[in-house]
Structure 1
Amino acid sequence: MSRRHEFAVTDSETVYSGAILALRKDQVLMPDGRTATREVVAKHGAVVIAARDADGRIALVLQYRHPVGRRLLELPAGLLDGGPDESPLQAAQRELAEEAGLAARRWSTLVDLVSSAGFCDEATRVFLAEDLWPVDTGVQVHEEADMTVHWMTLDEAVAATLSGQIVNASAVAGILALAAAERTGAQLRPTDAPWTDRPSSFGARSAPEQDAPSAAEPPEQD
């Protein structure tokens, strides 16, 4: 069997580097021997939480999303921007407390997804959180001050997804993955299961490249 082609990067140029994303142009060696330009958006990874209470209801947040100009029903979520010592689980625990005012005693990995592999390296891990209890969310600012928590049964959340009421990609994936797991009895992975596609290039930028978000304009969370 012939060896599969390695798409080696022969050169790379950073076009833009901001608080939550960077754009670079890679020169990539193609199988025919020629080089092609590929534009890549680099981002932090993200975590999403499907938090299910003792009655089987799922916590969703209604949050304003400026790029689409409206409020969306989503699962609590956030970026993996807490530094190299913060694990995906720790980030998920932080975001669940901040956005939904909840903590959980039982956690598992529900599903992993790559959002838009054609041009972006963003990857998301969706956790299932169970055995919930309320915690203080602290003082909410910016879009989060407008955020509200809504509860749906899993069947209601699936129906809202299929009707187009829920359109956020990670929420759609998390809700339908949980419904499939419930239907099939699939055993979920542990919270530290291998995550092959977790992004690293954006977080690995050198300090001078990283533009810290200002207090007036915080990075939008996924």
Structure 2
Amino acid sequence: MTIKDTPEEWEIRSSETPFRGAKTSVRTDEVVMPDGSTARRDYQVHPGSVAILALDDDDRVLLIKQYRHPVRQKLWEIPAGLLDVPGENPLHAAQRELYEEAHVKAEDWRVLTDVYTTPGGCDESVRIFLARGLSEAQGERFTAEHEETDLQHARVPVDELVQGVLAGELHNNCLVVGVLSLVAARGGAGLDALRPAEAPWPARPFEA
């Protein structure tokens, strides 16, 4: 048996959208089960996201701390953002988010990993990039609004982040997956063996 996720789509008898928000919506599908019965499945429809594990020359990861209202906590996170435009190139979106949230640019970009954040209740897929060769971006800083006006920034050693993850002190999905994937990649074929930044992404097809 090959351990690999595979595409599959079960028959949908009916579908409705009881809620539409500014960026996401909720969909209810009546899905035909393998035994012929049907079941209603509610899930959030999401445009997809990108996240950036930005690693500097001192082996520190660039972090931001942001208030997240649904969980009533301020979380340490890696820079991230929505794919606002259908078919948007995820690398371009990631470069934009790194500039807007940290005013930083990177010379070397790789795909670290792709994940479904909560596949039981949301179709969001996130591409997490590894960005290296960091430097201060040129031009004006992005004008923040809402929660982003209260951002904190830090650069934290990788080993310290691993300890925080395993101690249950850091909870952001992209930070946890990104840091542990970085450590796994280093222990395997190495960071230069990661997929190129423009690697195909079947969950969110894009134009190169």
TM-score by length of 2: 0.88
Structure 2 counterpart of 1:92: 94
Identity %: 45
Q: Distance in 1 between matches of 2:141 and 2:9?
A: 47
Question: Separation in 2 of the partners of 1:78 and 1:24?
Answer: 22
Matched, 1:167 2:171: yes
2:18 aligned residue: 15
Distance 1:161 1:90, change over 3 A: same
8 Å contact kept, 2:33–2:39: yes
Cα deviation code 1:31-79 (max 9, x no counterpart)? 1122221112101101000001111111010111111122110011111
Give ranges in structure 1 of 5+ residues lacking alignment: 201-222
Cross-structure match for 2:4: none
Superimposed CA distance per residue, residues 124-157 of structure 1 (whole angstroms, 9 cap, x where no aligned partner): 1100001011124322222111101111111111
Divergent runs of 4+, >6 A: none
Higher relative contact order (CA 8 A, sep 6+): 1
- The match for 1:59 is 62
1:85-108 per-residue CA deviation (whole Å, 9 max, x = no partner) reads 631111100110111111111100
Supply the distance in 2 between the matched residues of 1:103 and 1:165 (Cα, whole angstroms): 28
Q: What is the Cα deviation at residue 160 of structure 1?
A: 1.5
* Paired amino acid for 2:150: D
Residue 124 of structure 1 aligns with which residue?
A: 126
Match of 1:139 among 137, 143, 161: 143
2:83 aligned partner: 80
CA distance in 2, matches of 1:179, 1:6: 34
Q: Is the Cα–Cα contact under 8 Å of residues 67 and 73 in structure 2 kept in the other structure?
A: yes
Q: Which residue of 1 aligns with 2:181?
A: 177
Aligned residue pairs, count? 195
Aligned pairs for 1:200-219 within 5 A = none
Which among 152, 158, 180 is matched to residue 154 of structure 1?
158
CA distance in 1, matches of 2:151, 2:9: 45
Return the alpha-carbon distance in structure 1 between the equivalents of residues 9 and 81 of structure 2. 33
Distance 2:135 2:46 in 1: 32
Q: What residue in structure 2 maps to residue 196 of structure 1?
A: 202
The one-letter amino acid paired with 1:197 is A
- Which sections of structure 2, spanning at least 5 residues, go unmatched? 1-7
Residue in 2 that maps onto 1:206:
none
Normalised TM-score (structure 1): 0.83
Does the aligned pair in 2 maintain the 1:122–1:199 contact within 8 Å?
no
Q: Distance in 2 between matches of 1:6 and 1:142?
A: 38
CA RMSD of aligned residues (A): 1.7
Check the 8 A contact 1:43/1:199 in 2, yes or no.
Answer: no
Greater Cα shift, 60-69 or 102-111? 60-69
